[in-house]
Structure 1
Amino acid sequence: MKITEIQKTIEDAEMIVIGIGAELRADKIIPYDSEEIKAYYEKLGMKQYQHVLEEAKDKEDFAYLRELYYAYYIQTQKISTIYDSLAKVLEGKNYFIITSNTDDLIYSSSLDAARIVAPCGTRRLFQCSKGCSKNLYPAKELILAKLEEFELTGDMSRIRCGKCKEELIFNIREKENPANYVEEGYLSQWGNYTKWLQGTLNKRFLALELGEGFEQPSLFHWPFERIVYFNQKAKLVRVHNKLSQIGEELKERATSVPISAIEFLG
């Protein structure tokens, strides 16, 4: 089954919420070693990306640099991917997207950024690794400065906090230290999302779950089920290569699609 095969379900829905999970992570759509990324840095006059990729397999400092190169590429390019296939299907619809991914590739697509919330964080912002403040810092220019320094001098030092001189890290909720996550980066958009959800009551509503599995079930896996259970006009489509199962209580208004989200959108 492809997304085009549920076109009528999409057309009939007055409101559509889409949950996007790990099957649609950026590195599964655009590999680190893609020729497009290599060509991009060659065009910028940066020659070290291939070397960084090779060394990143077993060296932490190079793995750090690889993430900077990758994040900068995504943040500076309008990249045509399967997210644009989703945007085409949703054109003209009242939709909102919640993603558990933190790579920001979705923002490089033609989807409306004002209709996307990423509660687990973003690589477009930095925060202090030690939490000396709740400040968030735009990442793009800081990343570029670090990459240019590395290309010129070979300096592999980390980007530092201007207040306390500890390392700046991406504004992402880490499983190892979730309490350190500065939530202010997404809370405003989260408010927009929850307000939008309040308007779904008694509407013809579609919840489309793409590739989440069970990595972050409290984010939208369980919430989608609750919404569909209580709204008799709602439907659920769950897409995942291995974990697309639907509970008995929802089977009459839910569809399991046991393929990867990439294949579904492709």
Structure 2
Amino acid sequence: MDNIKLNKIAEYIQNADAIVIGAGAGLSASAGLLYSGKRFTDNFNEFIDKYGMQDMYSSGFYPFETEEEKWAYWSKHIYLNRYEFPVGKVYKDLLDIVSGKEYFVITTNVDHQFYKAGFPKERVFATQGDYGLLQCAHGCHKKLYDNEALVYEMIEKQKDCKIPSELVPKCPVCGGNMEVNLRCDEYFVEDEEWDNSLANYEKFIEENQNKNIVFIELGVGMNTPAIIKYQFWRMTNKLKDAEYICINLNEAYAPGAIMNKSICINIDISEAVNDLKKLIK
């Protein structure tokens, strides 16, 4: 049955005038960017012993008492998930599949994998931020700051789950604390590049909505379904020549209203994309 579905998906992609990829955390997990298990315990043993942490996702919400402790954790989190981890093969395979087609990517992932794989930034809308950027914690101004050099210095100089106080980042405008540019509260900074990416996405949809447009959802869960999943369902239902593909291990489904325009396959995304690349080539 999976082979039949994969062949049909390949046919959808080959016949598409435009493709919209919607990517969630499941795509990066399939690439090996896991937030739990051995990858977590191997890298955070000190933090596990001290704070009782269980995985990188829940640890991101830990109420650290000091900024020195918070940034000791976050520098390692950012280093592992943004800088140290190489581009996943599934991302490069995706680029191979859509190269030569009209396509756009909307993603809730903040790990920079699409950019690392070579997707042009004008074709990607990362709605929830980027691990590699810092912002004022209270959003006092709409500018973002690259954190790579600072993160490496925090990694090098931290001791006993703390960084030196002089490395705690402070807002250059208001003097307050800084945060990673992640959408977690009302202070999330949407800078000029974010605005441009949104405009590019909306323009792509507008220009291709009356064509044979295929929405491909990869690894999107129910944490923030309104950003990608519900949008894709709504547009597939509304647009006459739209089709919906959902690939997700154990979570692939579509509502009854669009079932006749949908293909949902419960399979590892890396495996499915690798097979699709062979079928399409």
Give the deviation of 1:240 after TM superposition: 1.9
Match of 1:7 among 3, 7, 10: 10
Does the 8 A contact of 2:104 with 2:124 survive in 1? Answer: yes
2:179 is aligned with 1:169: yes
Match of 2:170 among 146, 150, 160: 160
Give the deviation of 1:229 after TM superposition: 1.3
Does the 8 A contact of 1:72 with 1:144 survive in 2? Answer: no
Q: Over residues 34-88 of structure 1, what are the superposed CA-to-partner deviations in whole Å (9 max), with x where a residue is unaligned?
A: 99x9xxxxxxxxxxxx9863213244634223123225525xx863521011111
Q: Over residues 208-234 of structure 1, what are the superposed CA-to-partner deviations in whole Å (9 max), with x where a residue is unaligned?
A: 001102222211211111221122211
Does the 8 A contact of 2:27 with 2:219 survive in 1? Answer: yes
2:32 is aligned with 1:29: yes
Give the deviation of 1:235 after TM superposition: 0.8
Over 3 Å counting, the alpha-carbon distance change for 1:33 and 1:19 in structure 2 is closer
Does the 8 A contact of 1:206 with 1:235 survive in 2? Answer: yes
- What are the residue-to-residue correspondences of 1:72-83 with 2, within 5 Å? 73-74=83-84, 79-83=87-91
Match of 1:85 among 62, 68, 93: 93
The residue aligned with 1:181 is: 188
Structure 1 residue identity aligned to 2:77? E
The residue aligned with 2:142 is: 134
For structure 2, list consecutive stretches of 5 or more residues without a partner in the other structure.
52-63, 275-281
Matches of 2:210 and 2:224, distance apart in 1:
27
Matches of 1:7 and 1:199, distance apart in 2:
23
SS in 2 for 1:186: helix
The residue aligned with 1:198 is: 206
Q: Over residues 13-46 of structure 1, what are the superposed CA-to-partner deviations in whole Å (9 max), with x where a residue is unaligned?
A: 00000100121236962357999x9xxxxxxxxx
SS in 2 for 1:214: coil
Match of 2:254 among 232, 246, 261: 246
SS in 1 for 2:186: helix
2:221 is aligned with 1:222: no
Give the deviation of 1:94 after TM superposition: 0.6
Matches of 1:86 and 1:165, distance apart in 2:
42
Does the 8 A contact of 2:19 with 2:215 survive in 1? Answer: yes
Structure 1 residue identity aligned to 2:78? L
RMSD: 3.0
For structure 1, list consecutive stretches of 5 or more residues without a partner in the other structure.
38-49
SS in 1 for 2:264: strand
Over 3 Å counting, the alpha-carbon distance change for 1:145 and 1:27 in structure 2 is farther
Matches of 1:78 and 1:52, distance apart in 2:
16
The residue aligned with 2:46 is: 55
Matches of 1:23 and 1:226, distance apart in 2:
21
Matches of 2:154 and 2:82, distance apart in 1:
11
Matches of 1:230 and 1:155, distance apart in 2:
52
How many residues are treated as equivalent by the alignment?
Answer: 247
Tell me the TM-score normalized by structure 1: 0.80
Matches of 2:258 and 2:137, distance apart in 1:
43
2:273 is aligned with 1:265: yes
Tell me the TM-score normalized by structure 2: 0.76
Give aligned-pair identity as a percent.
25
Matches of 2:94 and 2:246, distance apart in 1:
15
Does the 8 A contact of 1:16 with 1:96 survive in 2? Answer: yes
SS in 2 for 1:24: helix
- What are the residue-to-residue correspondences of 1:115-154 with 2, within 5 Å? 115-150=123-158
SS in 1 for 2:228: helix
Does the 8 A contact of 2:110 with 2:131 survive in 1? Answer: yes
